[in-house]
Structure 1
């Protein structure tokens, strides 16, 4: 039996805390496989691509393994549904997002046979493409690899 890791909670913290706020958690984070990033767009594909690129560049997933890319894609889509209140559209609905994101890979179950899972979290703003008219939003997606 291995240690259980709350990959969703960690992903939400990584996406929502500012850089200086994360300093307190850094010693614990060294044991984890994760990455962070930012994306702002009216284009859903740019949001998806930003997360995929960060995960691949930071070695969170192996881009040559389809099952890993597929798991990440579904976690991203689930998280986007949270951000967009189950209406996965941005520019098509005349709204824009400014998001911080994180991707965390780990074993959320004590039983090693359950394998690794991947979590994607978004935190930021969504709203009309007019500065000052946006509001906070958050989304979380978790999928097995």
Structure 2
């Protein structure tokens, strides 16, 4: 399924953008290559709730521990992905915008050939726009940080 996909960022985006049964296939393929993966969904007008949903999924799946370093790396990867979604500083509820997103958190080497160097990536995909059905558009964002 993901034979040609050997980079952290591509895996994070493919998993976040996948639909239905493809999600589990991509996750399984990534795990077979040695990557650690968590996925989830979130919808909110509050950026803090989006951050909290991603952090909760990462902790639930054991991707980050209680050490400040891993939590800090995750936080910055989330912020970077959100900047991609918002095309700059993210604003949601303050300007009457809402987001419905799928996300993937992936830990592993930046590229498969570099096994000793761990990174964390957060990929997000979904819809953003006015909180009125039909007034939204697709967005995606990717954040990568060194562990």
Q: Following TM superposition, by how much is the alpha carbon of 1:89 offset from its aligned partner in structure 2, in angstroms?
A: 1.4
Q: Does 1:100 align with 2:123?
A: no
Q: Does 1:12 align with 2:5?
A: no
TM-score by length of structure 2 reads 0.88
- Gap regions ≥5 residues in structure 1: none
Aligned to 2:63: 60
Q: Following TM superposition, by how much is the alpha carbon of 1:24 offset from its aligned partner in structure 2, in angstroms?
A: 4.5
TM-score by length of structure 1 reads 0.90
Alignment check: 8 A CA contact 2:15 2:27 kept:
no
Alignment check: 8 A CA contact 1:119 1:140 kept:
yes
Secondary structure of 1:30's match?
Answer: helix
What RMSD, in angstroms, separates the aligned Cα atoms of the two structures?
A: 1.7
CA distance in 2, matches of 1:59, 1:24: 20
Secondary structure of 1:22's match?
Answer: helix
Aligned to 1:124: 126
Secondary structure of 1:99's match?
Answer: strand
Match 2:54 to one of 51, 54, 69: 51
Alignment check: 8 A CA contact 1:5 1:107 kept:
no
CA distance in 2, matches of 1:18, 1:111: 29
Match 2:37 to one of 34, 39, 44: 34
Q: Which stretch shifts more, 20-29 or 124-133?
A: 20-29
- Runs ≥4 residues deviating over 6 A: none
Secondary structure of 2:73's match?
Answer: helix
- Gap regions ≥5 residues in structure 2: none
Deviations 1:112-134 (A, max 9, x none): 45x21000010000000111110
Aligned to 1:90: 92
Secondary structure of 2:137's match?
Answer: strand
